[in-house]
Chains A and B, each alone.
Chain A
Amino acid sequence: QVQLQQWGAGLLKPSETLSLTCAVYGGSFSGYYWSWIRQPPGKGLEWIGEITHTGSTNYSPSLKSRVAISVDTSKNHFSLKLNSVTAADTAVYYCARALLTEGSWGQGTLVTVSS
């Protein structure tokens, strides 16, 4: 059974870059879409973007100018960077494998943006 474990800084100042990593244990990287999703406190889920094992990416149009998702298959992990953060980026961030067909999720990381 695949497990996703994520980590990264939980407190950022405005204009800084959010950086999160999701490690994959017990599963293959090939043949899946690897996604990042976020959920502001008390609100719904928002798709941030996805990447394949070959590095092909798709991003949310609303975040595309600030986001980058990368993959390192040698380390079995993929990463999210979101630059120029503001308070509106405060949310629980999740990584997931096969969001639409399997739904294996990380534990979530609360990222707070505050001066």
Chain B
Amino acid sequence: SSELTQDPAVSVALGRTVWITCQGDSLRSYYPTWYQQKAGQAPVLVIFGQNHRPSGIPDRFSGSSSGNTASLTITGTQAEDEADYFCVSRDSSGDHVVFGGGTKLTVL
């Protein structure tokens, strides 16, 4: 399968921990990359590889993966983390790239 599946929407109380998941067969072979996208802006990479954060991304963002499921964890969620989050990886063939449908995170 070449699909990555995400929950359409997740909510979290300010300061709490939230897990955003991504499922797909290709995740058994490839770590996903996670992007944050705020309204009207280009996506920003927050996690790639096993659990790597680019410079400037707060350490409250982390990633994990097991089997066909990967998670983006935000610990101590801040109001500015409210955004859409997308997972993306190579498909099982390795020749194509596939995005998850995205998860809209609401911070209560």
Residues of A whose CB lies within 8 Å of any CB of B are 35, 37, 44-47, 50, 58-61, 94, 99-103, 105-108
Contact = CB atoms under 8 A, between A and B. Distances in A.
Query: Which of A102, A103, A108 has the most B CB atoms < 10 Å from its CB?
Result: A103
Interface residues of B, number: 23
Interface stretch (B11-19, B43-51, B58-66, B68-76): B43-51
Interface of B: 2, 33, 35, 37, 42-45, 48-49, 54, 86, 88-90, 95-102
Contacts of A47: 88, 96-99
Nearest to A104: B45
Contacts of A105: 42-43
Contacts of A61: 2, 96
A37 B43 CA distance: 11
B99 A44 contact: yes
Contact of A45 (B45, B48, B102): B102
Contact of B97 (A35, A44, A103): A35
